[in-house]
Amino acid sequence: MTESVSIALVTMVAVIAAILGIKRNSKKAQSPKLPPNKAAKVAREAAKKEFDDNIKALNRAVEGDSAANDLADLGNKRKR
């Protein structure tokens, strides 16, 4: 009886070790690299340019003689 339990235990340990060894050694196939998305790049550049232009306009409005009026004008332009 004790021999059959020890044989079963050794067999289970060997099977588990084999499964873990196979999983550890098998490498995942790397997915191919996608080509760059040109449309997204153009859209990002356009959004960045618009953002930079808006920041420059805000800086000019704040540094001007009548900052409140200039900022109000920018706000009104944005609503339209």
Structure tokens at 4: 């059959």
* Tokens found for residue 6: 């020890």
**Percent of the chain at pLDDT above 70?**
86
64's CB contacts (< 8 A; 6+ apart) are 70
pLDDT at 36: 84
- Phi, psi angle pair for 17, to nearest 5°: -65, -40
- Report the amino acid identity of residue 12: M
Mean pLDDT of 14-18: 87
Confidence of residue 70 (pLDDT cuts 50, 70, 90): confident
Model pLDDT, residue 6: 85
Q: Mean pLDDT of all residues in the chain?
A: 84
pLDDT tens digits along 34-50: 788 899 999 999 999 99
Residues 61 and 67: beta-carbon distance below 8 Å: yes
